[in-house]
Amino acid sequence: MKETFIKELTTASLKDPVLIEGLPGLGLVGKIATRYLIRQLKAEKLAYLYSPHFPYFVLVNKKGSVRLLRGTFYFWKNKNGKNDLLFFTGDSQAQTIEGQYEISARILDFAVQNNVKLIVTIGGYRTEAKDKPKVIAAATNPEILNKTLQAQAAVSPSGSPIVGSAGLILGLARFKKVDALCLLGETRGYLPDPKAAKSVLETLQSLLNIDVDLKGLDEEIAKAEKMVTRLQKIEEKRTLQAEETRKEENKKVTYIS
């Protein structure tokens, strides 16, 4: 395997498909949001993307079988709406600079080949958490950006970077005459953040006119908040113990003298 390649598992004839992309990144926002939609909509696997720029290990699955790290394309036939959906998510971002460009370009090529006219990439936007994470948007097309701003999103500050596939796909899209939109959920970024993913999905639903029950995310949000609380307690304990140890050390110094 010298280059990134896509292995198609089936073919699907899709009606004006929109591609939704979410790889792991800040707060895993993109991956959590995309995976949630795939599960709720019972989307089906369409193709795998493999790359020598992914980390060099394999993962063991539940049955003791093994697979390469990969990305997966899914599709969903939208019986009531006007756009079928394609999804792309995966185990990892590329580990090299050239790999980042190569993988984003391949995702885009595959979208074009499937007549995709709009790609929505999802990621995290690092900031100190407020009560409800905002959704930050950027797009290759002002019309789409305007629609998004009407769906409870704020425009990204000028000069702000969007790192990895969520950004590069937008940057490369103009060479392929595909429109692309990036939705970033506000997150502190260092722990999985389903709350940020929920904000993004609310905007996305309103924008694409799809109807997915987001309550399933609330459980994950509760779990994530417990985790944060637990980590904060551990951190406090550690600080206290370090303080105690230092005092003990100082006493010892005195006894010796």
Tell me which residues touch its own copies (CB under 8 A).
1-2, 52-68, 94-102, 105, 137-140, 142, 145, 155-164, 167-168, 170-172, 174, 180, 182, 247, 250-254, 256-257
Could you give the CA distance from residue 15 to residue 230 in angstroms, rounded to a whole number?
A: 47
**154 close to 135: Cβ distance less than 8 angstroms:** yes
Query: Among residues 171 and 189, whose Cβ is nearest to its own copies?
Result: 171
CA distance 36 to 19: 15
Q: How far is the CB of 193 from its own copies (least distance, A)?
A: 20
CB of 139 to its own copies, least distance (A): 6
In whole angstroms, how close is the CB of 191 to its own copies at the nearest point? 18
* Closer CB to its own copies, 15 or 252, in the complex: 252
Q: Which is nearer to its own copies, 10 or 158 (CB)?
A: 158
**In the complex with its own copies, which residue's Cβ is closer, 80 or 158?**
158
| Residue 89, Cβ density class (10 Å: 0-12 exposed, 13-18 middle, ≥19 buried) | buried
Residue with Cβ nearer its own copies (84 or 179): 179
User: How close are the terminal C-alpha atoms of the chain, in Å?
Assistant: 67
Nearer to its own copies, 163 or 214 (CB): 163
Environment class of residue 111 by beta-carbon count within 10 Å: exposed (0-12), middle (13-18) or buried (19+)? buried
Least Å distance between CB 104 and its own copies?
8
Smallest gap from Cβ 61 to its own copies, in A, equals 6
Residue 251 CB, nearest approach to its own copies (Å): 6
CA distance 75 to 105: 19
Handedness of CA 231, 234, 240, 242 (dihedral sign): negative
Are the C-beta atoms of residues 152 and 203 closer than 8 Å to each other?
yes
